[in-house]
Structure 1
Amino acid sequence: MHAPDCPPPDAHPARLILTLSLAATVGLGIGRFAYALVLPDMREDLGWSYSAAGFMNTINAVGYLAGALVASRLIRRLGWSVAIRGGTLVCLAALATCALTGNFVALSLARLVLGIGAAVAFVAGGALAATIAQSYPERANFLLSLFYAGPGVGILSSGLIAPFTLQWFGPGSWWIVWWALTLLSLVMTAPLFLIRIESQARFAEASHASFSILPVLIYLAGYFLFGAGYIAYMTFMIAYVRDGGGDATAQAAFWGLIGVSAFVTPWVWRGVLALDRGGLATAIILGTNAIGAGLPMLGHSTVWLAVSAVVFGIGFFAVVNSTTAFVRFNYPPEVWPTAIAAMTISFGIGQTLGPIAVGAITDALGSLSYALNVSAALLALGAVAALCQRKVGPKNSVPKGGANSR
């Protein structure tokens, strides 16, 4: 993880951070999450089981975890510009590969590589955004929230393109959607090459400060359950909407509502994120996430699905910030890199196992609704686990604006 020490001056910090957020838009909002929009047509056309369909997001999560673990070394060796731009270009190449083949192995490799590129670009972009934000203490939280809105932009934009492309070209046109998403990503990537990306900030070497897993084991378990639960919802929910008779407009509206939620989370959770009471803030947000994931159990009505998307999205985009706040409240700055690395690994393992496990359950029980039941249950258990977490140390002085990480 990171510990920037010399932020770069910039006359337009908001514009620069918004541009950096396009790396997250491409790698996560489009690269990872838009797969759910294409999954139903791919599964039918290629004859996949739900387990096989889930595996595509599992292998993507494996790549993301691997990329996150090596990102700091790559930044130290290659520099900020190469990490951000190079990682995003890798995502573009992987997206294009998804449009070129229906071979399961080739698609799996493309999803793996996409995850690696997305992680490197996201970690580098987020670290640089945090560095810039800390140069403006009075606006630091707002500026950093601009970067973390990047995935929401990708979710919203891909939701406006993919369902209607599938409707226009008909069954078996999933590869055309991947081309459309590749072109969209190409447009989103262009501004990254039109700005100056440089900084004197450096990732610190691994801290030797004391960090023990045992006092936060229950919290790590909750974050693991979040990783497993959220990705199941984000993988299979569009298939559920479609199976319930939702047309392209319904799918686009549902996906768009999740994306729009990213833009309101900083204001919705401002007070909650300030709570210095162990895992309480994370528990509240995860509980909200679980409610959103569970609402579709009440039926396929437009109202329930819309409320589910909004409630889930508002919680989903805030969980990462809550874990960062937990680390900042409970540990001195020299321990932050180690503590956040532990959080990242726990989350990464959860989102790696979630899709394929939930897909296997759906195959075994014969109904996609079970995927949502399991997703909501995992998120609820995560909330309970976080609620059991107590403070692990005396309150430390937290720099105004702080740092965020995924």
Structure 2
Amino acid sequence: MSRFPSWREPLIALGLAAGPVVALGFTRFAYALLLPAMRGDLHWTYAQAGGLNTANAAGYVLGAGTAVFWARRLGERAAFLGTLAVSALILLLTAATADYPVLGLLRFVGGVTTAVTFVLGSALAARVSAGGGQRRAATLVALYMAGVGIGVVLSGLLVPAALAVAGDAGWRAGWLLLGGAAVLAVVPALLAVRRIAPVTGVTRAGLSRADLARLAPTFVWYVIFGAGYVSYLTFVIALLRDEGLRTPGVAAFFVILGLASALATLTVWGRLVSRLPGGRAPALVSLVVLLGVLPVLLLPAGLPAALLSAVVFGSAFMAGPTAATVLARRALPVGGWTAGIALLTVAFSLGQAVGPLVSGVLSDSGGIAVGLWLSVALLAVAALVALRQSDPAPAVVPEREFASGR
């Protein structure tokens, strides 16, 4: 049985959701809002703009790969909170310089810390209802992932407000506002973590070859999916601005995208992912995200196409991490959850490191739309790869051993 009253579990998951608010909603995705202003004010090429996202994703790879180490060294709870606090500091420091190498370093370090935050937060969220059944656990993981949508909504409100006042030079104020909000987000995360008892030994278990083999198609899918979806998120705002969409329209796009993400993750994907066997959930996620890219490429330029894209894309893009976390929970013994989620996040990060750079190069040579068609192709391949994932049959660790930390 769950260690918490049923009414308290959603509150704990929501408090943990402060992690993805900062890690993805602010650090990763708000960059798409700030990129056109930074590019205009600092005279970057699209390849340079994509390069900063690649630096962030490279740091994310390192952070995801070392998350288990930090969990062992500091404990999951302390590492989650510590890296969340450092991530907030990085957002504030990003406003302090226009030097490209320094910005690249900050984006890299921010990638490391936010990856640790996200991985360990995912593992903590998966443990909130360890004995409550797959459907209940998937719902709580989805609630945690909804933090990304909340972060996107807040970004869509804060960043355009800064840019509306100061124009392209307002990118510094945008980072400051995000950093201030990130500092505030540490408070609910702290309250939630205090409700989760430390569990000795859970993060010490490694993964066997059999564990890895069970999830092999999901690892491949996650690389391709990460490259596909992040290429769109990195450059779609630049495309919309090039097509004449002004700041209020851009803000509306981002807010709708975030709302669609939060609502769909909470009301649809948590239940759906737990019911679909094998790789059908990640395949469906990839297909819906692909459909969300098409309106800005195929329909006449303007706000209607942008908002349609925001609704469809936003409704599914964070269902990818939800599906990956639920599959890891389903396939692996309790002691392997943190390591499994960390390795899946490494795969996800590898895709996110390569996608924006390649998309940026294509955009410089043939226009932004050419780079976004890369997203369509990658997401189509990802859907096909995901279907090769069969239903795993994990080794089972008795619940009493998990609860006692043995």
Q: Give the TM-score normalised by the residue count of structure 2.
A: 0.87
Is the Cα contact below 8 Å between 2:29 and 2:234 reproduced in 1? Answer: yes
* Equivalent position of 1:182 in the other structure: 179
- Whole-angstrom distance in 1 between the partners of 2:291 and 2:386: 16
Give the partner amino acid of 1:29. Answer: G
Choose the corresponding residue for 1:144, options 141, 145, 149: 141
- Whole-angstrom distance in 1 between the partners of 2:179 and 2:365: 34
Q: 1:399 to 1:37 in 2, by over 3 A?
A: farther
Is the Cα contact below 8 Å between 1:39 and 1:53 reproduced in 2? Answer: yes
Is the Cα contact below 8 Å between 2:229 and 2:317 reproduced in 1? Answer: yes
TM superposition shift of 1:276 = 5.2
Greater mean deviation of Cα atoms: 351-360 or 242-251 = 242-251
Deviations 1:21-65 (A, max 9, x none): 112211211111111111001011111111110111111111112
Deviations 1:322-376 (A, max 9, x none): 23444455566676666545433322211111111110111122x1111211112
- Whole-angstrom distance in 2 between the partners of 1:23 and 1:52: 28
TM superposition shift of 1:286 = 0.5
- Whole-angstrom distance in 1 between the partners of 2:96 and 2:171: 11
Give the partner amino acid of 1:385. Answer: V
Deviations 1:207-266 (A, max 9, x none): 353327677655433221111011111111111111111112111111111111222234
* Equivalent position of 1:315 in the other structure: 316
Is the Cα contact below 8 Å between 1:258 and 1:310 reproduced in 2? Answer: yes
CA RMSD in angstroms, aligned pairs only: 3.0
Choose the corresponding residue for 1:60, options 39, 53, 56: 56
TM superposition shift of 1:318 = 0.9
* Equivalent position of 1:104 in the other structure: 100
Equivalent pairs, count: 395
Give the partner amino acid of 1:362. Answer: S
Is the Cα contact below 8 Å between 1:166 and 1:177 reproduced in 2? Answer: yes
- Give yes or no for the alignment of 1:355 onto 2:356: yes
Q: How does 1:120-269 map to 2 (within 5 A)?
A: 120-134=116-130, 136-137=132-133, 139-193=136-190, 197=194, 199-202=197-200, 203-207=202-206, 209-211=208-210, 218-261=217-260, 262-269=262-269
- Whole-angstrom distance in 1 between the partners of 2:125 and 2:52: 30
SS class of match (2:17) = helix
* Equivalent position of 2:304 in the other structure: 303
Deviations 1:365-388 (A, max 9, x none): 2x111121111211112112223x
Q: 1:278 to 1:145 in 2, by over 3 A?
A: closer
Greater mean deviation of Cα atoms: 319-328 or 150-159 = 319-328
Is the Cα contact below 8 Å between 1:99 and 1:179 reproduced in 2? Answer: yes
TM superposition shift of 1:289 = 0.7
TM superposition shift of 1:192 = 3.5
- Whole-angstrom distance in 2 between the partners of 1:328 and 1:134: 10
Is the Cα contact below 8 Å between 2:24 and 2:151 reproduced in 1? Answer: yes
* Equivalent position of 1:404 in the other structure: none
Is the Cα contact below 8 Å between 1:9 and 1:132 reproduced in 2? Answer: no
Higher helix content, 1 or 2: 2
Greater mean deviation of Cα atoms: 229-238 or 164-173 = 164-173
Q: Give the TM-score normalised by the residue count of structure 1.
A: 0.87
* Equivalent position of 1:403 in the other structure: none
- Whole-angstrom distance in 1 between the partners of 2:336 and 2:376: 32
Give the partner amino acid of 2:253. Answer: F
* Equivalent position of 2:17 in the other structure: 21
Q: 1:268 to 1:112 in 2, by over 3 A?
A: same
Instruction: Extract unaligned runs of 5+ from structure 1.
Output: 401-406
Q: 1:395 to 1:122 in 2, by over 3 A?
A: closer
Q: How does 1:73-92 map to 2 (within 5 A)?
A: 73-92=69-88
Instruction: Extract unaligned runs of 5+ from structure 2.
Output: 400-406
- Whole-angstrom distance in 2 between the partners of 1:163 and 1:310: 19
* Equivalent position of 1:93 in the other structure: 89
SS class of match (1:263) = helix
Give the partner amino acid of 1:278. Answer: G
